[in-house]
Structure 1
Amino acid sequence: MSRTTVGVLAVSLAAAGIVPVVTGAGAHAATANASTSTSATLSAFLPTAPVYTVVREGLSTDQAKRLARSAGIENALRADGSFSFTDADRFARVPTVKPGSDDENRSKDEEGNETVAEAVDIRALENTRTLSRTAALRRAKALLPVPDGYGILPVVDHTTVGQSDAEGRPGRTYNLDTTVTYQLTLGGVPVVGPGAKARASFAGDGSVVQLGQSVREVKPDGTVPIVSPAVAQRSCTALYGDRIRQDTPVLGYYAPPLTADRKTPVSQLLPHYICRPVDGVNEESTYSGKLVAASPFTAPKVELQASGDGRTITAGADATGGRAPYAYNWSSSSTALDWGRPKISYAGEHRTDPLALERQFTETLTVTVTDADGLTTTAHVDLVNAEGEATAKGISGGAGGALATNGIEQTVDEWQCAQDSANGFRSVMQNKNQSVKFDFRGTGAWEKDFKDKAQNGLDQSYVDSVDAQWYTGHGWSGGFTFKGNHDDGTITPADARWGDDNLEWLQLESCQVLKDINGKLDYFGRWAQSFQGLHLLNGFDTTAYCLDGGTGRRFASYLFTEDYLFWTRKALTVQQAWGTMANDLEPAGVRWRSVSPATLKNGHWVTNLGDFYWGQGTTGPDISPASTSNPLQGFFSVSGVS
C-alpha cells in the first residue's frame, strides 16, 4: 500500500471518528478472513484486541465420562459437545405432601383433563439444609471443567422458594440448594453467549442436582484491530433506531452455541462490543444489549434486495467476507418465517384490527447473516403496503439482545434471537404432536390478545384459549410491550385476568417482569389479580438476555423426555423447564422466577409448582382466583440464578 493510500486511510478513519493509535510495527491481525495487508495497515492506526483460536469444541466423550463419574451423575453429553445434567427428581423441586385422599386429590379441568392436587410440605422446607458458600465453591472448583486460559468470576446463590398471602404480603423464604455459576473472561474481558456457560447446583449434602458446561478450549493467536467505542456506539444506534439512547458500549467476546456436531465448527472467538441501551423506564443501561463486531471488516458484508406486489414479497441477500458457509435467517413484521436460504418468497399475512382506522401498513423484512465463526450482519427494508422495491446494506452486528394447544406472540421481529426462540418453541411442540393455534410476530402481535375480555380485550380467543403461551419482547417490572397500539402498546397487571377460560402456563421471555423491586417479594402483589385459574407465570427478575441459542426450543424440549448420547432424561416440570433453560443459556447472574397461586386444603398449601405439561406427568387443578380477604389463599414462587 502506498504512502498516499495510507494517508487517505488515516483521513477516512478520522472522518469516521476513529482516532489513530500507534500500537507498534509488529501489530497485526490474525484472522484468515481479512486481507493481511489491510489488517496490518489498520493495526497501525487502531487499537487491537486478541483473537482466540478454538482448540476443542466442548467436552470429548472421555472428558464427559470422567466428569459424570466424579460428579456421581449420568453422562449428559450432547452431540454439540456441551454437558447438561438436571436431576428431574430434585432440582428446584419443592417438597410435596398429599393434601387429602387419592380421590379427594383428583379432579378434572375445564377441558376434561385429569388433575392431581399436590401441596407444599412446609415442614420439609423448614428442615432443608443447604451447602455453605465456601463448601459450594470448593465443590465447584473440583467439578466444573473450565479450560485453561479463562478467568473465572464465581457467582454464588441459591434456588429459593418464596411465599405470600393473597394480598402479596410476603411470608417466609426458603433455600433449596446452593448454586455456583462462572462468569468467564478472556484477558480480563467478559465472554458472553451460550458457548460460555459453566454452572452447578448442589444439595445440602454436596451431591449434584444440576450441572452444565458449554465452553470451548481456546488459545490466543495474534490480534485484530478494533474500532473505538464511539464508532461501535453508532452501530448500536443503527441497530436499535434513533429513539433508543445508547450508553458507551463495552468490549467483550461472543461465544456462539457449540458446534462440535457441525461440518464447519467455529474456528475462533473474535472481540465484540456489547451495546448498552438505556432503559426508558428506569433510565438505566445494562450490559444486555445486542452485539456488534469490534473489528467490522472481519464480519460478513450483506446486500439485501426486496420487492412486493401488495401480497407476495420476494427478496435475496448477497453475502461476502467473514468465513463461509453462511447461515441466512429471515424475519417478517407480519409473518412467521423459518427459512435458511439466501433467497425467499412468501405471502405476507398482515393482521387487521376491525376497530382500528388503519389505512396502510408497513411490511418490514430483516435478514441476519451469520458466518461460520458466529459473526452476524443484519439488514432490513420497509415496504409500504408490501409494495414496491427496496435495497439495504447490512449493519455489522445484531446477535443477541436483552429479553397441548399453544400460542406464540413475538414482538421484536427484527431480532434474530427472538425469532429463533419462537421458531424453536413452535418446532418442538409440533414435533411432539402438540398444536400451535396461533403464531403472531412483530406488528401482528397485539396486546389485546393478552387483555381481559371485560376490558374489550381478545384473550378468550387467543392467549386464554390455549394451554401454554410463549411471549418474547421488551418488558419492565410493570408489564411488557408491543409494537402497535391495539389498544395502547403495553400489558400491565391491571389488564390481565388469565386462566378463567383455559390458560395454564404463561412464559414471558422479557426483562424484569417478575422483579422483586423492594426486596419484599412485591411481584406477588403486582400480579395477584392476573391469576384467575392460571397455573404458572414464568419470567425474570433481572434483565433477560436474548442471546442466540434457542431459548424457546430448549424450554419446550425440557417438557418432554429427551435422548442424549449416553442418557435419557425424564420430562421436567414446567417450572423446572423454565429454570433449567435459563441456567443453560442465560449469562451468570440472571435471576429467573416462576409464580404459582396457592390455596389451603386440609391444612396444606396446594400449588401448581409441580405441574408437568399435559401427558408427561401429573398436573394440578385450577386454583380459584385469589381473594384478598381470604386467608386461605396466597402464592408461592421458585427462583434461581443462572
Structure 2
Amino acid sequence: MSTNRRRATTWLALTGLMGAAAITGSTAAVAAAAAEMPVYQVRSVGLTQDQATALQRAFGLKAVQRAEDGSVSFADESTYLRVPGLDLGAGQPDESGAATTQTALDVDSLKRLRAIPVEDATKKALETLRGVGLLPANATPTAGQTTFEVVDANQQAVVTAPLDTAVSFAFTLGGVPLEGPGAKVRIAFDGQGAVAGLTYAVRGLLSGPSVPVLTLDEGRDRCAKVLGSSVRPTGVSYVYEAPPLAEKVDRIEPGLRCDGVNSDGAAVQSVIVGAAVDARLPEPGPADPPREQSSFTPQWTNRVDVGSEGTGPCSGLPWTAANLASFNNRFTSAGVPVQFSWVNHNAWERDFKDPVFAGGQDQLYADDVDMTYWQGHGSPTGFSFAGCSSNTDTFLSNNDARWGNRDVEWMSLFTCSILQGTSGGQSWATRWGRALRGLHQINSFDTVSYHSAVHGGKFANYLVRTPFLWWNRPMKVRDAWAQASIDTQPATVRWATMGPIGGGGLANFNDYFWNKGPVGPDTLPSTGYWRISGSS
C-alpha cells in the first residue's frame, strides 16, 4: 500500500464512521428508541500538510491555504463569484470625500454565462475526494448553483445567470446530523469545471460511551427555556454540533436543534443546546446597564467606522454578545472605530428607522456609520426586537427603512429570510428596494439561518485582513458575507446580497470595504436591482 493511501485509510478509520448509517427518516426515529446517544471522541483535527497538498494537486489548484487549525480553503480571485462588469472610471466622491470607482453590470455577458450541471459537479467532487482518500464516509453531497439576478425598476426579470455550481456535503453521526463550522466540505466549480472555491474543515471522530439524553418531548421544554417567553418552539430534533476547528474540544456531544417563531411572527435563528440529561444551559451573562434616552451626536461622515446591534438571551439567542464582540474586535484591531454596539434590551428598533417616520433615529446609529451589522430574528419583511425592547416598537419593517441617505454603505443583517426570493406575492426587490437611498448593499439570507457566535468575526476578517502572499487579500463585501456564511452555516442555508442599479447599469456589486479596494459611488435604484444568492 502506498504512503498516501495508507495515510488516507488511517484518516478514514479515525472518523469511526465507515459504513455509518445514512439518514433514513427523522432524527427522532434514530435516537428516540433509546434514552442514550453516543459521545464522539476527537482523534484528529483538520488535514495534515501532506493531505492538503494532495487535495490541491487532485483539484489542480495553484495553492491552498492550510490554517494552523488544519482547515483548508481556496478562492480563485479571477473566478470566485465573479460577476461581469464594465469599468466606467472615477465616480462622484462619497459623502466623506473619498474617491469612488464606477462599475456597470455587463448584462450581455451575464446572459452568456453557463454553469456545469449539478450531476457533473457532484460526480467530479466525489471522484476527486475519493481518489485521494479524503471523502468522509459519513458525507452526503448536495449541489446547486450560485445565481446572479437582475430585475428592472418595475421588478421585471432581466436575467438570472449562474456564477458557479457548488457541491456541499452534509454529515451524520450514526444517522444524526453533524452540523457546524467544524463539519464543512464545499467545492464550487466555475463554468469550465475548474475549482473556483474550496472549503475543507473536518475532525476525525471515534464513537465513545453513550450518555442519557432527553426525549424530544423533554427537549421541547429545554428549548422553550432557552428560547424564552417571546418564542414559540415549532420543532426540536437531535443534532451533533461541530464547533470551529480552532476551538479546542476533545469530544462532540449530542445536542438539540431548537426552531421556533417569535411573537412578531418572525422565524427564529435555529439554536443548538445540549441534549444530555445533565447538560448545562447557556448562561445569559451579565446585563449591560440601560441606555440613556438622551440625544446622541452624530459623527462626522468623513470618518470610516462601523456599528453593531443585536438581540441576545432576551430573544432566545445566547451567543449574540459574543458574535457582535467578534465583529467589533476585528474592526478595532484593524484601526476602524466601532461607534456603537447595543445588545439585548439596549438594541432598539428606532436605531434602524428613518427619521421621516415617528421616532426614527437611524441618522444617529444605523445610517451614521459605513457598515452596520445586526444579529437577531427576522422575516422577509423585517427583523424583530420582541422580548427585548419596544423603542419605538418591536419590529423594524421594510417600510420603515430608508438607508444610505446619510452615511451607511453596507447593511449586514445576520438574521433569517430577509432576502427570500418571494413572500406574500412580493419579490425581494419589491420588499426592500425602497430602503435603498444611497445604500450600496444589503447582506442577509434567503432562508432561515443558524445562530452563531463567530459569524461576525469571520465576516469582518475577510473584509479587513492584511494581504500575505496570494491568499490573504481582503475580499469584496458580498464575497466576505458569502464566505463567512459558508464557513458557519449548514448547506441548507442560502446567503444573499442585493443592491441598486442606477443609470447606465451603474451598480456597486464589486465594493470592497473602505481602504481595502475600490468602492462605488452612492447609487439610487433608478433602473433596477441585483441579487446574488447561493448555498452554504
- Would you say same fold, with TM above 0.5? yes
Distance across 1 between alignment mates of 2:223 and 2:82? 41
1:78 counterpart residue number? 67
The answer as to 2:157 corresponding to 1:170 is yes
The answer as to 2:109 corresponding to 1:124 is yes
Secondary structure at the aligned position of 1:458 is classed as coil
1:606 counterpart residue number? 506
1:509 counterpart residue number? 414
2:144 counterpart residue number? 157
2:204 counterpart residue number? 217
Distance across 2 between alignment mates of 1:64 and 1:273? 33
The answer as to 2:463 corresponding to 1:559 is yes
The one-letter code sitting in structure 2 at the alignment partner of 1:522 is S
The one-letter code sitting in structure 1 at the alignment partner of 2:486 is N
The one-letter code sitting in structure 1 at the alignment partner of 2:374 is Y
Secondary structure at the aligned position of 2:356 is classed as helix
1:331-363 Cα deviation digits (max 9, x unpaired): 4443xxxxxxxxxxxxx3x213359xxxxxxxx
**Change beyond 3 A, Cα 1:247–1:88:** same
C-alpha deviation, 1:94, in angstroms: 0.8
Distance across 1 between alignment mates of 2:396 and 2:107? 34
Secondary structure at the aligned position of 1:569 is classed as coil
C-alpha deviation, 1:451, in angstroms: 0.8
Distance across 2 between alignment mates of 1:583 and 1:176? 16
1:93 counterpart residue number? 82
Preserved CA contact (<8 Å) 1:88 1:571? no
1:7-32 Cα deviation digits (max 9, x unpaired): xxxxxxxxxxxxxxxxxxxxxxxxxx
Preserved CA contact (<8 Å) 1:46 1:227? no
1:588 counterpart residue number? 491
The structure 2 residue matched to 1:185, chosen from 172, 176, 181, is 172
1:254 counterpart residue number? 241
Preserved CA contact (<8 Å) 2:312 2:319? no
Secondary structure at the aligned position of 1:245 is classed as strand
Distance across 2 between alignment mates of 1:417 and 1:140? 34
The one-letter code sitting in structure 2 at the alignment partner of 1:475 is G
C-alpha deviation, 1:169, in angstroms: 2.9
Preserved CA contact (<8 Å) 1:147 1:215? no
The answer as to 2:478 corresponding to 1:575 is yes
Preserved CA contact (<8 Å) 1:333 1:444? no
C-alpha deviation, 1:521, in angstroms: 7.5
The one-letter code sitting in structure 1 at the alignment partner of 2:67 is R
Distance across 1 between alignment mates of 2:482 and 2:53? 25
Distance across 1 between alignment mates of 2:423 and 2:342? 35
C-alpha deviation, 1:443, in angstroms: 1.2
Distance across 1 between alignment mates of 2:142 and 2:262? 25
Distance across 1 between alignment mates of 2:263 and 2:389? 17
Secondary structure at the aligned position of 1:568 is classed as coil
The structure 2 residue matched to 1:135, chosen from 120, 128, 133, is 120
1:375-416 Cα deviation digits (max 9, x unpaired): xxxxxxxxxxxxxxxxxxxxxxxxxxxxx2101111225634
**Change beyond 3 A, Cα 1:546–1:461:** same
**Change beyond 3 A, Cα 1:519–1:587:** farther
**Change beyond 3 A, Cα 1:63–1:554:** same
C-alpha deviation, 1:140, in angstroms: 1.4
Preserved CA contact (<8 Å) 1:116 1:620? yes
C-alpha deviation, 1:301, in angstroms: 8.4
Distance across 1 between alignment mates of 2:164 and 2:172? 26
Secondary structure at the aligned position of 1:159 is classed as strand
Secondary structure at the aligned position of 1:233 is classed as helix
Distance across 2 between alignment mates of 1:445 and 1:518? 26
Distance across 1 between alignment mates of 2:176 and 2:437? 46
Distance across 1 between alignment mates of 2:235 and 2:412? 32
C-alpha deviation, 1:83, in angstroms: 1.4
For residues 527-566 of structure 1, the aligned pairs below 5 Å read 527-548=432-453, 550-562=454-466
C-alpha deviation, 1:266, in angstroms: 1.7
Preserved CA contact (<8 Å) 1:232 1:292? no
C-alpha deviation, 1:55, in angstroms: 1.6
1:404-460 Cα deviation digits (max 9, x unpaired): 210111122563432222111111111111111111111111111111111141111
Preserved CA contact (<8 Å) 1:561 1:570? yes
1:467 counterpart residue number? 370
C-alpha deviation, 1:122, in angstroms: 1.5
- RMSD, aligned CA: 2.5
Distance across 2 between alignment mates of 1:80 and 1:243? 38
Distance across 2 between alignment mates of 1:231 and 1:201? 40
For residues 393-472 of structure 1, the aligned pairs below 5 Å read 404-413=304-313, 415-455=317-357, 456-472=359-375
**Change beyond 3 A, Cα 1:561–1:294:** closer
The structure 2 residue matched to 1:615, chosen from 515, 518, 529, is 515
Secondary structure at the aligned position of 1:448 is classed as helix
**Change beyond 3 A, Cα 1:162–1:552:** same
2:291 counterpart residue number? 351
Preserved CA contact (<8 Å) 1:475 1:481? yes
Distance across 1 between alignment mates of 2:502 and 2:378? 29
**Change beyond 3 A, Cα 1:149–1:406:** closer
C-alpha deviation, 1:519, in angstroms: 10
C-alpha deviation, 1:113, in angstroms: 0.3
The answer as to 2:404 corresponding to 1:499 is yes
The answer as to 2:273 corresponding to 1:292 is yes
The answer as to 2:98 corresponding to 1:113 is yes
Preserved CA contact (<8 Å) 2:66 2:72? yes
Preserved CA contact (<8 Å) 1:168 1:528? no
Larger Rg: 1
Secondary structure at the aligned position of 1:486 is classed as coil
1:510-568 Cα deviation digits (max 9, x unpaired): 101111125988010111111110000111110011134x100100111134468x863
Distance across 1 between alignment mates of 2:426 and 2:123? 31
Preserved CA contact (<8 Å) 2:274 2:281? no
The structure 2 residue matched to 1:637, chosen from 498, 518, 531, is 531
**Would you identify which runs of 4 or more consecutive aligned residues in structure 1 move more than 3 Å?**
142-150, 278-283, 299-302, 329-333, 413-416, 518-521, 561-564
The structure 2 residue matched to 1:54, chosen from 38, 42, 49, is 42
1:250-289 Cα deviation digits (max 9, x unpaired): 1111111114xx7xx3222221121232465669x88x53
TM, length-normalised to structure 1: 0.72
1:270 counterpart residue number? 253
Distance across 2 between alignment mates of 1:459 and 1:137? 46
**Change beyond 3 A, Cα 1:546–1:150:** farther
Distance across 1 between alignment mates of 2:101 and 2:425? 31
Alignment gaps of 5+ in structure 2? 1-32, 296-303
Distance across 2 between alignment mates of 1:527 and 1:203? 30
Preserved CA contact (<8 Å) 2:273 2:281? no
Preserved CA contact (<8 Å) 1:144 1:200? no
The one-letter code sitting in structure 2 at the alignment partner of 1:84 is S
Distance across 2 between alignment mates of 1:606 and 1:513? 24
**Change beyond 3 A, Cα 1:417–1:147:** farther
Preserved CA contact (<8 Å) 1:607 1:620? yes
The one-letter code sitting in structure 1 at the alignment partner of 2:312 is V
C-alpha deviation, 1:221, in angstroms: 2.5
The answer as to 2:390 corresponding to 1:485 is yes
Percent of counterpart pairs with the same letter?
32
The answer as to 2:103 corresponding to 1:199 is no
For residues 8-27 of structure 1, the aligned pairs below 5 Å read none
Preserved CA contact (<8 Å) 2:126 2:135? no
